[in-house]
Amino acid sequence: MKFDILYYRFGKVSAVLAVLLVWACIYLPGLGNREVQGNEPKRTLPALAMIQSGNWINPELAGEKYYKKPPLINWMIATSFTLTGNTSEFSARLPSALTVLCFALLIVLMPSGFLTHPGKIICAMIFLSSLGIIDKGRLIEIDGAYTAITGMAVLSWLNFRTLKSSGWLLWIVPGIFLGLGLLLKGPLILVFFYSVVFLYLYYEKKFKELRSIHHVAGIVVMLLIFSIWAITVLLSKQTEQPAGNSESQVASKMSSEWLSDILDNVIGMDSLKGDKPWWVKFSAVFIDWARNIVQALFYFLPWLLFIPFFRRDSWFEKLPDEGKIIVKTLFWSLVIGMGCLMLQPGVRARYFVPLVAIACLMTGFMLSHLQDNSKSHRTWRNIILALSLMSALTLSAGIFLVNMRFMPKLFVMFKVKPPAPMDYIFYLPTLLTSILTVGFLVYFFRNKDRFSDSLRLSLASAAFTAIVVFQLYCFTLPVIRQFEVKRPAGMAINKCMPPGETLNLFNFGIMNYEPFLYYIRPPVRYVFDEKELAEKDKYVLFEGETYGRIVNDYGIASREPRKVLDLTFKKTKYVIIRFEKPPPKISGVN
């Protein structure tokens, strides 16, 4: 009997393999190719400090204690660095991608009372192919992992609830995920989780369960996970801090940084700073707010486009009462979550990303109950076909515009020297991507009428997403790398430093840190005063303006400083100085 993949019945093992394959194709290609982006250095530098110092309790950024975010993301990165044996961008971003995989696997593997087996696969494919998850899951930002953990908490509660499981499982398992969420970013996860819980219990008219001992136990577990770290920080001996740095001072630093972060999120404190008129500041806050709202909606694509079509189908009335409760709970929890975030003038688009997990569960549940070959399915099918054709045209343009120098026929025409035989290995990703793009387009077009249900179309959507990622890897990443500035700066510094020699980073700190510090080869040491430069310290990285102010100081000039490197990074000048002599010894002073 001839095997037909379109009529293959997925079991649990094959569903897991499908999730692993889709995840690998979307989240691994080019994962470590881009230099660090956005806030990634704020996550990697504390992890590097943890490995170098051995202190995993007190995170440090550029030589200063950094409590603005809890340390779980730093622990994840430091663990990845330790296990992989290197500190590359791939190792740094791998934990974020793995947490995305864990949630997708949990959807497929965890017993559920509201998702069918096909529905689980649909939800997993929707999650893996959502724009916001692809964006954040391929960066070592907090948001990708935070979204996955938020989804785990919500999914486990709904699954145990619909399975009528023990109250201990119902509250303690989500409590573990909520505790990890608090260690990852903070209390925002409670808003997303409890909006689902409150609405579900409201529709069931069982609010009294919130007073149960099981719920209290879940809260205790959640707080215990977070408080173990917080209490350890307060009780730890701050031996590397100046004398008098008491537990109350540590607590004050933690609370002030958390308060500053919350105020910036809620009212946009950073936008209100400066000497501009108040109306200019508030208009800037409003513009930023509107831009972030629009950007947040893009994170829900492409599945956001399906919501209007659900209103036209009669599938909702055919659902059992429990199914209707699920849909209404997830929908209104999304509305409440987005509403709470939109009320904050200082909101960022990335704060909405955890809601993508809830949206994926809702959309997957909806799609799994659509009647085969419905109007939504036909529209979905036509969109995939149109986008596949566009991707094939884009591929053709990419081959001719980006890889033109590799095409043998054009070598003769333009009298270009052909590459050596071994250079053709760079051809391989483009060749494979071309085969996949054309093969998918031809296969989908020839069998488009057989893609008539949500499961097959969700798998086709995930496959198409993987093809787009391959194309970006082949054609976009090589172009992006031409505009890198952080990695070249770090490489320039490394070239002038003897192996094993410590580079002292003078007066950087949290407020003055630069992202290229991630690329500096260890060992490094942060210093904030001339007196901290010991006799053995020979190399120091200064900001140009700072060095200009202290170059004639006795402690610097007497050591015969010699410039080793002049570096400009984003219009700011930096210099590396080599001291030719040790500090002068003053008679009578030991």
Can you state the angle between helices 72-84 and 40-53, rounded to 10 degrees?
60
Check residue 217 and give its pLDDT.
96
Question: Torsions phi, psi of 458, nearest 5?
Answer: -70, -40
Pick from 509, 207, 188: which is nearest to 353 by CA?
188
Q: Is-contact 337 355, C-beta < 8 A?
A: yes
Structure confidence at residue 25 (pLDDT): 95
- pLDDT score at 80: 96
User: Which residues of the chain are modeled with pLDDT < 50?
Assistant: 1, 237-248, 255, 404-406, 421-422, 424-425, 588-589
DSSP code, position 111 = -
According to the model, what pLDDT value does residue 146 have?
96
Task: Round to whole Å and give the CA distance between 421 and 22.
Answer: 32
Tens digit of each residue's pLDDT (9 = 90 or more) over 296-343: 889 998 888 877 666 555 677 778 888 889 999 999 999 999 998 888
**Domain boundaries along the sequence of the chain:** 95-236+247-368, 375-483, 486-579
Is the distance from CB of 97 to CB of 77 less than 8 angstroms? Answer: no
The confidence score (pLDDT) of residue 281 equals 58
Q: Do 162 and 329 touch, CB atoms closer than 8 A?
A: no
The phi, psi pair for 586, rounded to 5°, reads -95, 125
The pTM for the full model equals 0.88
What CA–CA distance (Å, rounded) separates 74 from 39?
12
Q: What is the bridge-based pairing of β-strands 60-61 and 64-65? A: antiparallel
Q: What is the pLDDT of residues 569-583, one digit of tens each?
A: 988 999 999 988 877
Strand, helix or coil at 162? helix
What CATH number should be reported for the domain whose range is 486-579?
Answer: 3.40.190
